Amino acid sequence: MQNTDTERPQKTIQRPQNSIWASFRIIPTVILVAIVIATMFTAWTGPGIISGGLGNQYEVVSMEDQIETTPGSSSIEAGSHRVGIVAGHSGNDSGAICPDGLTELSINQKVASFVQQYLVEQKIQVDILKEFDDRLSGYKGLALISIHADSCEYINNEATGFKVASALNNPHPERANRLTTCLRNRYAQITGLKLHNSITNDMTSYHAFDEIDNETPAVIIEVGFLNLDRQLLTQHTDLVAKGIAEGLLCYLNNEDATMQIPTQMAPQSTP
Ligand SMILES: [Zn+2]
């Protein structure tokens, strides 16, 4: 488009005698530089921001005190600066049971409680939810993580490790994938447990996935096997919780989680 009125090329550039006009001429440049920097910053903050920007939104919110955000730059709704943690089987049944009476439920609840403590220290609001909590219906949050543990029966020596899965029909697969990747990566690093390379239908079609709000990315984690991973689950529950909390923070803060982690092969293929 033509801009003949405002275009006065070269003339006043020679001498800055008209310093006021010179200043005005600088303004478009300043704005342009600002736009370029803003664009670079947005791009640098992480991939998938535009379509999967929950992590970015979280950052904007967390930095509110330091950075004046422009109206509309954050689309977080009031009350949504929270995450949901489902303590698997709570309010319903005890889950897997060991011969000596140790229950999956007791592990899940302890882990959920530690995760909550850990995240609250990071200024994140946490809702601890029951397995079939009424609040799951339309649940809105930055993420939802359901905590479970695997069987206490001895299967074979490969029945060790953890699993993380998200919904198959998630409307924002990039968010769910990143949450899954972050959790797998941080959980493996912190607990030393291997990723068990089998995901069952029970996990991908987990009931809560269909109940919560479409915009809430959700995963289910099997923190380990009650049999072979019992020592970690019962005696280092803090590490288990830290692995989950750090995985969530990795997602919320758009941290890098592309590092390779060791994988435990499945004892048998799962249909
Ligand atoms: Zn379970």
Q: What is the DSSP string of 14-28?
A: S-TTSHHHHHHHHHH
What's the 150 CA to ligand 1 centre distance in angstroms?
7
Same domain as 166, residue 34: no
Mean pLDDT for the stretch of residues 35-41: 46
Same domain as 189, residue 234: yes
Mean pLDDT for the stretch of residues 83-111: 98
Q: Which tokens belong to 147?
A: 């905590």
What pTM value is reported for the model?
0.69
28 is a domain residue: yes
Q: How many residues does the chain have?
A: 271
Q: 210-242 pLDDT, tens per residue?
A: 999 999 999 999 999 999 999 999 999 999 999
What's the 96 CA to ligand 1 centre distance in angstroms?
7
Report pLDDT for 84.
98
What's the 142 CA to ligand 1 centre distance in angstroms?
23
Same domain as 163, residue 102: yes
Same domain as 31, residue 145: no
77 is a domain residue: no
CA–CA dist 162, 116 (Å, integer): 20
Same domain as 125, residue 247: yes
What's the 148 CA to ligand 1 centre distance in angstroms?
4
Q: Is the pLDDT of residue 270 over 50?
A: no
What's the 69 CA to ligand 1 centre distance in angstroms?
42
59 is a domain residue: no
Same domain as 90, residue 215: yes
Higher pLDDT, 168 or 87: 87
Report pLDDT for 168.
78
What's the 191 CA to ligand 1 centre distance in angstroms?
19
Same domain as 123, residue 27: no
Higher pLDDT, 162 or 173: 162
What's the 202 CA to ligand 1 centre distance in angstroms?
10
Closest Cα partner for 92 from 229, 204, 190, 208? 208
Mean pLDDT for the stretch of residues 200-205: 86
Under the banding of pLDDT at 50, 70 and 90, the label for residue 207 is very high
Number of domains present in the structure of the chain: 2
Same domain as 146, residue 25: no
Q: Is the pLDDT of residue 252 over 50?
A: yes
122 is a domain residue: yes
Mean pLDDT for the stretch of residues 10-31: 46
Q: How far does CA 112 lie from the centroid of its chain?
A: 16
Report pLDDT for 239.
97
Same domain as 149, residue 40: no
36 is a domain residue: yes
CA–CA dist 1, 9 (Å, integer): 16
The mean pLDDT of the chain is 77
11 is a domain residue: no
Q: Which domain holds residue 194?
A: 82-264
The label of the residue with tokens 């440049």 reads: 29
Report pLDDT for 261.
67
248 is a domain residue: yes
Phi, psi of 107 (to 5 degrees): -65, -50
Same domain as 216, residue 155: yes
CATH at residue 141: 3.40.630.40
What's the 125 CA to ligand 1 centre distance in angstroms?
24
Same domain as 27, residue 98: no
Higher pLDDT, 99 or 43: 99
Residue 135 DSSP code: G
Same domain as 170, residue 103: yes
Report pLDDT for 259.
64
* Percentage of the chain modeled with pLDDT above 90: 58
Report pLDDT for 200.
83
Q: Are strands 195-196 and 163-166 parallel, antiparallel or unpaired?
A: unpaired
Q: How far does CA 94 lie from the centroid of its chain?
A: 27
62 is a domain residue: no
Closest Cα partner for 159 from 221, 229, 107, 106? 229
